[in-house]
Amino acid sequence: MTVPGTERSHAPDLSRVLSAFSSRAEEPPGPIQLLTPEGTLVHHPDDTPGYDPLRLRAFYRDMVMARSIDTEATALQRQGELGLWPPLAGQEAAQIGSAHALRADDYAFPSYREHGVAWCRGVDPVDVVRLYRGVTNGGWDPREKNFHLYTLVVGSHALHATGYAMGLAKRGSGAAAIAYFGDGATSEGDVAEAFTFAAVHDAPVVFFCQNNQWAISEPVERQLRGPLYRRAAGFGFPGVQVDGNDVLAVHAVTEAALEHARTGNGPFFIEASTYRMGAHTTSDDPTRYRRAAELDEWRAKDPIDRVRTHLAEAGHATQEFFDDVATEGAELALRIRRQVRTMPDPDRTEVFGHVYADGHPLVDEERAQFAAYQASFADQEVK
Amino acid sequence: MSTESMTLARALNQSLRKALEDDPQVLVMGEDVGRLGGVFRVTEGLQKDFSEERVMDSPLAESGIVGTAIGLALNGYRPVVEIQFDGFVFPAYDQIVTQLAKVHARSRGMLTMPVVIRIPYGGGIGAVEHHSDSPEALFAHVAGLRVVSPSNAADAYWMLQQAIRSDDPVIFFEPKRRYWDTAEVDRAVPPVDLHRADVVRRGTDVTLVAYGPMVKVCLEAAEAAAEEGRSLEVIDLRSVSPVDFDTVQASVERTRRLVVVHEAPVFFGAGAEIAARITTRCFYHLEAPVLRVGGYHAPYPPARLEEEYLPGLDRVLDAVDRSLGY
Ligand SMILES: Cc1ncc(C[n+]2csc(CCOP(=O)(O)OP(=O)(O)O)c2C)c(N)n1
Ligand SMILES: [Mg+2]
């Protein structure tokens, strides 16, 4: 670690760092980090991959927006407007850093907490909130955003991302797929099978695991013994661990991993070490299973604070910039609140909508019965 | 006094506690069942009182949970596993259908599979996708599995005791929207057979058959019908495999009319089997075809539509009217 504005020390060519990291037999010194929790660059700015004040301000803005969406949605759930909300608080750098590394033609497969990635893919947060209000089981056009629908069955979509990537390679598209999942998900058979398929097909897919240390009440030690990122080596592809609360490092690593995949080198695994600061979902009470001290430890590593500190101390952002971003976040929250409060319920016959692409006589019959049954109440009301 | 008022969830908790006390071979395992006590708190306090050796937080892998339960059963244990929600049993479906259900038959009776799989099921709690399904027919269709579902706290307590003592695999469906309903539980009375249906309300005009969450709806329907001078008999089936056809038959021979009610989709559901068998057994007694009320041939809808999707009092009474109209 060095002090800001320090002399040029060693020049970390990221791809060299990554390959050295993934082939090390012994334990690595720790996750890849470029910006410390204190807001200090680990290397000289010129030697920090992807370092650019303009881009760092964009990361900052999107992390603040993600937190604003999250805070508002959590409040709306508490007020009874949503059925459920899985908060992303604490995971902003992992999501914003990785999503910024994606190109428009890359395709992302989220689990259920990737509200920050959704934001970066241009999905209206109101559409994400719509899902958790219980209005729809989808919410957006996946192909318009190259952002698949949320998958609630843990781990399932790792295979979909792999298959999608196999298709990208077959078509010679030069794009990559990315699958987002948690530490708990790595225990599911589907995820192991995804690793296998991706490896033997050299599929251009990046497995982006947000190790937020918990799967509901189970700490990561209940899922595996030994470092998570090392699992990839057993399947025959590289895996690295990155400080998931360091948006610069996450971005640089994901960019390198995507490039690795796009250029025909097969899959890549990223373990982003982060922390779920909130409850698993609004139905959960984490005080039942984890220590407050652990929360304090991670609060000191907040992903947004360190960027703010750095931008301010390096003179890359003015107070006016921070104020503008805060205002924008508040306006976004207000828009979400207004639109959720006035969101209409779906039409009742939506139950029968789109069950089959080519129609089905039973669905038609039941829809007609349902409509007649509903109409019988309408008659009664008229009488 | 052995009678105590408790919620259905608490009754299950007490039943597991009793099983762990009575038999050192009983193990409890599943996601979040230990420290947290399960997402519905059914296993609350069990790990603290019976150790991490006997109440195990498993890795997030349903195939692993059921597959290792099979191995533990082969080694003399009696695992009671929890699948967190109905929609998440499917990664384990292969283990359940191709292995668990068939070990006894393949070994020509030399090996038994005393495994209980507890699954909170059904809708009505405003949940997100995969948290409201009723997949019981997918298990009842498989020979070798016993499939049961209590409707109230007393049955929950006793049926779980019986399921754990059974040497066959039992799929134990818990009506999640009834977890917080309270009833008297008498821990001294000897229970009726696990697979016997229970006539929970006597009546003369139409028989309603239901199980799990829909029993309460049918009892409410019977109450409403009584105000209009109609006498409905309500049978709590309790067991979906095997089905106590004798109890249903005896009732239908008196009322001559049958309506089967479940949350699960009607198409190829438990009601289809009951309708077919009862029609065969009671052909000359029936005044009307057996009618079914249940879910539609559509994925379980988002929460804002579940009230329309779930069979409620009105749809049950509508079927009663139609039955009486023949
Ligand atoms: C197949 C399956 N099993 C169980 C669940 C219930 N469940 C939802 S989230 C979760 C924990 C997931 O933990 P992790 O993969 O670490 O992701 P995180 O929630 O921490 O982001 C569980 C057990 C599920 N959704 N799908
Ligand atoms: Mg996690």
Instruction: Report ipTM (2 d.p.).
Output: 0.96
Q: Identity (one letter) of the amino acid at B314?
A: D
Q: Are B240 and B149 in contact (CB under 8 A)?
A: yes
Distance B81 CA to ligand 1 centre (A): 17
Question: Other C-beta atoms within 10 Å of B4: how many?
Answer: 15
Q: Are A85 and A282 in contact (CB under 8 A)?
A: yes
Q: Identity (one letter) of the amino acid at A102?
A: L
Residue spans of chain A under pLDDT 50: 1-11, 383
pLDDT value at position A6?
Answer: 40
Cβ contacts of A24-32, under 8 Å, gap ≥ 24: A27/A227, A28/A241, A30/A241, A31/A241, A31/A242, A31/A243, A31/A244, A31/A249, A31/A271, A31/A273, A32/A240, A32/A241, A32/A242, A32/A243, A32/A249, A32/A252, A32/A253
| Arch. (CATH architecture) of B198-324 | 3-Layer(aba) Sandwich (3.40)
Contact A133 B35 (CB under 8 A): no
* Residue of B215, B135, B130, B226 lying closest to B181 (CA atoms): B215
pLDDT in tens, A216-249: 999 999 999 989 999 999 999 999 999 999 999 9
Q: Are B137 and B264 in contact (CB under 8 A)?
A: yes
Question: Other C-beta atoms within 10 Å of A253: how many?
Answer: 34
Torsion sign over Cα A203, A206, A212, A216: negative
The two tokens of residue B181 are 């309903």
pLDDT value at position A21?
Answer: 57
DSSP character at residue B100: I
Q: Which of B41, B297, B313 to mutate to test the interface with A (most CBs of A within 10 A)?
A: B297
Contact A134 B91 (CB under 8 A): no
Q: Residues for chain A: how many in total? A: 383
The shortest CB-CB distance from B61 to any of A84, A188, A283 is to A188
**Top-confidence residue, A11 or B218:** B218
- % of chain B exceeding 90 in pLDDT: 98
Best of A154, A159, A217, A276 for a ligand 1 pocket test (most atoms within 8 Å of beta carbon): A154
Minimal Cα distance from A129: which residue of B? B128
Neighbours of ion ligand 2 (CB under 5 A): A 182-183, 212, 215
Angle between the A247-260 and A14-23 helix axes, to the nearest 10 degrees? 80
- Provide CB contacts within 8 A for B174, sequence distance 6+: B8, B12, B42, B118, B119, B120, B121, B149, B150, B156
Q: Which residues of A touch B63 (CB under 8 A)?
A: 189
* β B170-175/B146-148 pair status: parallel
CA dihedral B70, B72, B73, B74 (to 10 degrees): 90
Q: Which residues line ligand 1 (CB under 6 A)?
A: A 113, 152-154, 181-185, 212, 214-216, 276, 280; B 31, 60, 62, 84, 88, 91
pLDDT in tens, B150-196: 999 999 999 999 999 999 999 999 999 999 999 999 998 878 999 99
Quick check: is B131 catalytic? yes
The two tokens of residue B230 are 């109609």
C-alpha distance from B272 to closest chain A C-alpha (Å): 15
Structural domains for chain A: 14-341 (3.40.50.970), 356-383 (no CATH)
> In this complex, is the C-beta atom of B31 within 8 Å of any C-beta atom belonging to chain A?
yes
CA dihedral A101, A102, A104, A105 (to 10 degrees): 140
- Strand-pairing partners, residue A208, are A180, A270
Contact B61 A373 (CB under 8 A): no
Ligand nearest to the CA of B60: 1
- Window 218-277 of B, Cβ < 8 Å to A: 267
Query: What is the spatial distance between Cα B107 and Cα A62, in angstroms, rounded to a whole number?
Result: 60
Name the residue with tokens 């050192």: B24
pLDDT value at position A133?
Answer: 98
Domains in chain B: boundaries: 3-186, 198-324
pLDDT in tens, B77-93: 999 999 999 999 999 99
Question: B207 φ, ψ to 5°?
Answer: -100, 130
Q: Residues for chain B: how many in total? A: 326
pTM: 0.96
pLDDT value at position A13?
Answer: 63
Please, what is the end-to-end C-alpha distance for chain B in angstroms?
Answer: 50
Minimal Cα distance from B302: which residue of A? A134
Distance A302 CA to ligand 1 centre (A): 24
C-alpha distance from B222 to closest chain A C-alpha (Å): 20
* Mean pLDDT, range B95-99, rounded to an integer: 98
Quick check: is A103 catalytic? no
Q: How many CA atoms lie within 13 A of B205 on its CB side?
A: 17
* Residue of B35, B261, B298 lying closest to A137 (CA atoms): B298
Give the sheet arrangement for strand A268-273, strand by strand: A107-109, A177-182, A205-211, A268-273, A239-243
Query: What is the spatial distance between Cα A169 and Cα B101, in angstroms, rounded to a whole number?
Result: 41
Q: Which of B35, B41, B60, B291 to mutate to test the interface with A (most CBs of A within 10 A)?
A: B60
pLDDT value at position A380?
Answer: 66
Best of B88, B90, B130 for a ligand 1 pocket test (most atoms within 8 Å of beta carbon): B88
Q: Identity (one letter) of the amino acid at A136?
A: T
Contact B297 A366 (CB under 8 A): yes
* β B3-7/B182-186 pair status: antiparallel
DSSP character at residue B120: E
Query: What is the spatial distance between Cα A333 and Cα A336, in angstroms, rounded to a whole number?
Result: 5
pLDDT value at position A5?
Answer: 39
Name the catalytic one among B104, B130, B131, B141: B131
For residue B302, whether the previous peptide bond is cis, meaning omega lies within 30 degrees of 0, is no
pLDDT in tens, B242-301: 999 999 999 999 999 999 999 999 999 999 999 999 999 999 999 999 999 999 999 999
Query: What is the spatial distance between Cα A22 and Cα A238, in angstroms, rounded to a whole number?
Result: 6
Nearest CA to ligand 1 atom 4: B88
Q: How many CA atoms lie within 13 A of A193 on its CB side?
A: 12
- Give the 3-state secondary structure percentages of chain B, helix then strand then coil, rounded to 5: 40, 20, 40
| Beta strand extents in B87-236 (DSSP E only) | 116-121, 146-148, 170-175, 182-186, 198-201, 206-210, 232-236
Domains B3-186 and B198-324 are alike in CATH topology:
yes
Query: What is the spatial distance between Cα B326 and Cα B259, in angstroms, rounded to a whole number?
Result: 13
**CATH domain B3-186 topology:** Rossmann fold (3.40.50)
Alpha helices in chain A (DSSP H): 14-23, 53-78, 92-100, 115-120, 125-133, 142-145, 156-170, 189-200, 231-235, 247-260, 292-299, 303-313, 319-341, 361-382
* Residue of B37, B110, B20, B34 lying closest to B74 (CA atoms): B110
Quick check: is A280 catalytic? yes
Contact A223 B59 (CB under 8 A): yes
Q: Are A91 and A99 in contact (CB under 8 A)?
A: no
Nearest CA to ligand 1 atom 8: A154
Q: How many CB pairs under 8 A join A and B?
A: 116
Query: What is the spatial distance between Cα A182 and Cα A155, in angstroms, rounded to a whole number?
Result: 8
pLDDT value at position A1?
Answer: 36
- Provide CB contacts within 8 A for A149, sequence distance 6+: A137, A138, A139, A140, A142
pLDDT value at position A166?
Answer: 98
Name the residue with tokens 């959960």: A284
C-alpha distance from A364 to closest chain B C-alpha (Å): 10
- Averaged pLDDT of chain B: 97
Contact B304 A188 (CB under 8 A): no
Query: What is the spatial distance between Cα B69 and Cα B78, in angstroms, rounded to a whole number?
Result: 8
Contact B35 A288 (CB under 8 A): yes
